[in-house]
Amino acid sequence: MKEIKKKSNFIKIIITLVFMIFFIILVTNGTKILKKPTDFFIVANGSLSYEEMTEGYVIRDEVVLQGDNYKNGMVQILSDGERVAKDEAFFRYYSNSEENILNQIAELDEEINELIETDNLSLPSSDILSLENQIENTIDLMYKVNYLQKIQEHKNKIEAYISKKAQITGVISPSDSYVRVLAEKRNELEAQLEAGSEVIYAPRSGLASYRVDGLEEILKTDNFDYLTKELLDSFELKVGATIPLSNEKGKVVNNFESYIVTSMNTEKSMSANIGDKVLLRLSNSDEIEAEIIYLKDEEKSRIIVFRIMDDVDELLEYRKISMDIVWWNYSGLKVSNSALIEENDRVYVERNKAGFTEKVLVKVLRQNDTYSIVENYEKEELKALGYSDEEISKMETISLYDEIVLH
């Protein structure tokens, strides 16, 4: 009986010791045990941006060209979007009696290209290789669209490329070859066409375009004071719709820069300044640098004009586009806002190291509703804030992969 009682007392002592050990652990490390994994945040490299979506109208420095015989229809000498030099032949109008000659040229082009395929002619020319690539790329594009106007444009491009390929092949073929004979006949026919047609030459260098929508004389670049939200809305343009190709006119467009105007009333747009640099993200996902060069406040909105120097040729097809304005973009050490502690106009984070925490002073560069980009203060900045050399020498700094406490 005594042995049983001793054994029972021994078990009670063991249980008491276990509970005491658990209590000590709980007291000394309780916060660490009870914290959830989400109570900590690992510092990582990241970026923050402030973006707003809007619609814009493309304004170009462009000169519209039209000849006397525009009712006859036109022939593109240069392709849409191709570079044109000053005084270079741009396009021409059909003469009154050239249908027969055009048919003969088309037949010669077909015959020349058949000979190229049949005889497997392989003539070393970078121009021919370039044209073949353009033909293949345009064919691929045709399979990706179901818009009739766009399909017809691609078809016209392919026909123009094939015609140029026939011309070049004829010129570089051996002088005694049949292809060369056909090419010379073709040249003679083209000379007849040019002798009886009106050729339009470019008054300056730039991008050749046949997309004329009638707004070229309204949306001018020399002065933007005429711009209003009411004017822009009056155009009733569909976002992303391509400007149709004209059969009567062409234009030369400044290839160095163009402009995008928008009307906005957001807080950020109302606080923008001339000279501010932003990024514009276009529908093709390109991000291009832009500068605000004009502002005009209206009753309920603000007119903003951006100058861009990239993707000028990419925007030739459009007058009204959708875009994201990236007002600012910062990269650096990214932390959760709930980890920030504000005390006496200073911002700190609480870093955890092996269960011990310490406050670290940080400088907040940018912040959104959820995260902040922070960095450490430079020594001179800390001195300007009133810290002594001794205090600065004892200060901790935040680093990549630090574990900080969330509050």
Co-location of 386 and 301 in the same domain = no
Is 342's pLDDT higher than 60? yes
Query: Where a domain ends, among 299, 329, 359?
Result: 329
- Is 88 contained in some domain? no
Co-location of 325 and 233 in the same domain = yes
Please tell me what DSSP assigns to residue 37.
G
Co-location of 287 and 340 in the same domain = no
Co-location of 231 and 325 in the same domain = yes
Number of domains forming the structure of the chain: 4
- Is 309 contained in some domain? yes
pLDDT by residue (tens digit) across 387-403? 999 998 989 999 999 99
Is 150's pLDDT higher than 90? no
- Is 137 contained in some domain? yes
197's tokens: 């047609």
pLDDT band at 316, cuts 50/70/90? Answer: very high
166: burial class by Cβ within 10 Å (0-12, 13-18, 19+)? buried
pLDDT band at 11, cuts 50/70/90? Answer: low
- How is 207-246 classified by DSSP, letter by letter? EEE-B--S-TTTS-SS--TT--HHHHHHT-PPTTPBPPBP
- Is 82 contained in some domain? no
Residue 359: which CATH number? 2.40.420.20
Co-location of 180 and 124 in the same domain = yes
What are the residues whose beta carbons fall under 8 Å from the beta carbon of 187, sequence distance 6 or more? 170
Residue 265: which CATH number? 2.40.30.170
Is 201's pLDDT higher than 80? yes
- Is 213 contained in some domain? no
Q: What is the pLDDT of residue 213?
A: 95
Co-location of 298 and 236 in the same domain = yes
192: burial class by Cβ within 10 Å (0-12, 13-18, 19+)? middle
Co-location of 106 and 178 in the same domain = yes
Query: Where a domain ends, among 329, 358, 374?
Result: 329
Co-location of 107 and 192 in the same domain = yes
261's tokens: 């105007």
Q: What is the 3 state secondary structure string of 47-107?
A: EEEEEEEEEEEEECCEEEECCCCHHHCEEECCCCCCEECCCCEEEEECCCCCHHHHHHHHH
Q: What is the pLDDT of residue 35?
A: 44
Co-location of 58 and 116 in the same domain = no
For residue 28, give its domain range.
1-33
Co-location of 374 and 289 in the same domain = no
Co-location of 271 and 355 in the same domain = no
The mean pLDDT value for 173-202 works out to 73
Regarding predicted confidence, which is higher, 320 or 162? Answer: 320
Strands 371-375, 356-367: pairing kind = antiparallel
- How is 305-364 classified by DSSP, letter by letter? EEEE-SSTTTTTTBSEEEEEEEEEEEEEEEEEGGGEEEETTEEEEEEEETTEEEEEEEEE
- Is 204 contained in some domain? no
pLDDT by residue (tens digit) across 14-62? 666 666 666 665 555 544 444 444 488 899 999 999 999 999 999 999 9
pTM for this one? 0.67
Q: What Cα–Cα distance (Å) separates residue 334 from each residue in 41, 252, 400, 401, 402?
A: 10, 48, 9, 10, 11
- Is 80 contained in some domain? no
Co-location of 110 and 190 in the same domain = yes
- Is 74 contained in some domain? no
Query: Where a domain ends, among 296, 329, 362?
Result: 329
